[in-house]
Chain A
């Protein structure tokens, strides 16, 4: 009976219902997309690093796992020392630069020979390897996003590069230039940001890491096998706070809209509440009706929000092919729970207000 009454109440005011459902859907979408975007970027970045094919990554002391935040304080001569360690097959020094023109990208400054030795080399879709100091390699996803062709000029890092080749994605970055060129541009001569180390056998990785620790005691030495697990928002200062802030804003939207919606509903239905009380409905019965109606609105909003999230992801990826938005069941459930709790919290005061109404005054309400 309560269920029927609630459904009828919801259908009785379709515009109010629609607006409330949309507000909850926006709340859910905001949470899912913000988390999905950050998680997706981190995961995609981690996969590309893993795609380099190295076994170990060596960074300067206290360097972040997020390499874009690292400078270039390591002498490139370290590569020679690493190469001499037992079980080391190849070492590739890489200089990183962060490009924020026309998007956010990491540019790898590489030595083609050593990079090839570690990664197994690029798979070329077209063009050729880096030969000229102004050459640049771009991956296929970047090409799809920016609509560029081999032979075209690409202006990044305040420099005009010549697109020499298009390569398969997944080798650390989307843009690759010769290391000396990037060193000149960054004023970091004979410096590298990271060393990728390839062992002769994967099971020798721990032994090589021990050797590196002895050689470079305070340096950050990470096995790439576990790299994806390290790329989380909790490892990036400020990202967790950013996500929490976005969730708080989303919850505030849902809370306020539900509060307003249920508050106006209670005012509008004052006489009906009086009727229920005259029939002997208890306070808890009236609270149950209000909160059940809120729950129904929230469930509809959550379902719409999940659908809207997938639609948003589809559109975003169409427009920005380099983006990765990771929508996980875990965060769909969390976003739903957040929306439901926020909604119930928003409806609790109006529900309490309804249950406290004086039946005589409520019945006389015009």
Chain B
């Protein structure tokens, strides 16, 4: 009987092993962000509640001015929430000082921007290595090689941003975002400045990173085709998430 129990665990044990309770890597609770323009308060986020789980690739869609970028800035610790809570890997960003949020960004968040935002004076190699340097754990050549190979940058590392195409620049930015193994990558319209072919390449890489490395990704986009690369789409309007769609 004892042996049988070892080979065939009870139903309770089996449930625990197959369906572990998954904690969200990112959670917002009644998240508000209000900008003050002169004497007028302009709410950009009006009580957002979202949960992002490890390994998810979430696309956020919505019209211009609906608060997508603001949401990305607040959940990435670049801006402070006016009200509500942001929990990133268990850390409450809304209760943190500017220095503590900087530290959290350094270790847990990778950003990808629409305009690539590479440092023009540095070549691709140093743009990527810079993130590792700021991260503070020293240069990891193995990790660097893996990332450069994965993103097809090995032959372009000696080139400065001005010598790279838009797609190549965005791949360098992507490499910079993931080089320090962040908990979450936040991409703000990563294909907004790219042609169709480069966009497909970058989106394909994002999906590959998500599937192969289990990288959690939150991506903002206007483009429904781009959004479809994610496995969940959140729709925003007027500072609120109005609905979510899961894609299988």
- Residues on A close to B: CB < 8 A? 1-2, 4-5, 8-9, 11-12, 271-272, 274-283, 285, 359-360, 363
Contacts and interface: CB of A to CB of B under 8 A. Distances in A.
Interface stretch (B56-64, B123-131, B218-226): B123-131
Given A4-B126, A363-B113, A279 B105 contact: yes
A359 B119 contact: no
B135 interface: yes
23 contacts: A2-B133, A5-B119, A5-B121, A5-B122, A8-B122, A12-B121, A272-B120, A275-B117, A277-B78, A278-B105, A278-B111, A279-B105, A279-B130, A279-B131, A279-B134, A280-B103, A280-B104, A280-B107, A280-B135, A281-B134, A282-B102, A359-B78, A360-B78
B73 interface: yes
Interface string B133-153: 111000000000000000000
A163 to B, nearest CB: 65
Interface of B: 73, 76, 78-79, 99, 102-107, 109, 111, 113, 117-122, 126, 129-131, 133-135, 176
Contacts, number: 69
A317 B78 CA distance: 61
A245 B37 CA distance: 49
Contacts of B118: 275
Given A1-B133, A275-B119, 4 more contacts: A8-B126, A279-B106, A279-B111, A280-B104
A363 B117 contact: yes
Contacts of B106: 279-281
A158 to B, nearest CB: 66
Nearest to A11: B121
Contact of A278 (B78, B129, B133): B78
Contacts of B130: 1, 5, 279
B65 to A, nearest CB: 14
B78 A1 contact: no
A148 B178 CA distance: 80
A360 B130 CA distance: 20
Contact of A272 (B119, B126, B176): B119
B73 A360 contact: yes
A363 B188 CA distance: 12
Contact of B134 (A4, A272, A276, A359): A276
Contacts of B73: 360
A162 to B, nearest CB: 70
A-B pairs, top 9 by smallest CB distance, nearest first, are A280-B106, A8-B121, A1-B133, A280-B105, A12-B121, A275-B117, A278-B111, A359-B78, A279-B134
B139 to A, nearest CB: 8
B190 to A, nearest CB: 14
A271 B117 CA distance: 8
